[in-house]
Copies of this chain bind each other. A is one copy, B any other.
Amino acid sequence: MDVSTLPPPEAHESDTCAVVRAILARVGDKWSILIVRMLGDGSMRFSELRRSIEGISQRMLTLTLRNLERDGLVARTVTPTTPPRVDYELTDLGHSLQSITEAFGRWAVTHRDQIENARLRFDARQ
Contact = CB atoms under 8 A, between A and B. Distances in A.
Interface of A: 6, 15-21, 23-26, 28-30, 33-34, 37, 52-55, 69-73, 93, 96-97, 99-100, 103-105, 107-109, 111-112, 114-119, 121-123
- From DSSP, what is the main secondary structure of chain A's interface residues? helix
A6 B118 contact: no
Given A73-B115, A96-B107, 13 more contacts: A17-B34, A19-B109, A20-B30, A20-B34, A20-B37, A20-B104, A23-B112, A28-B28, A28-B29, A70-B119, A72-B121, A73-B118, A93-B114
Contacts of A69: 122
Given A18-B54, A55-B18, A109-B19, A6 B93 contact: no
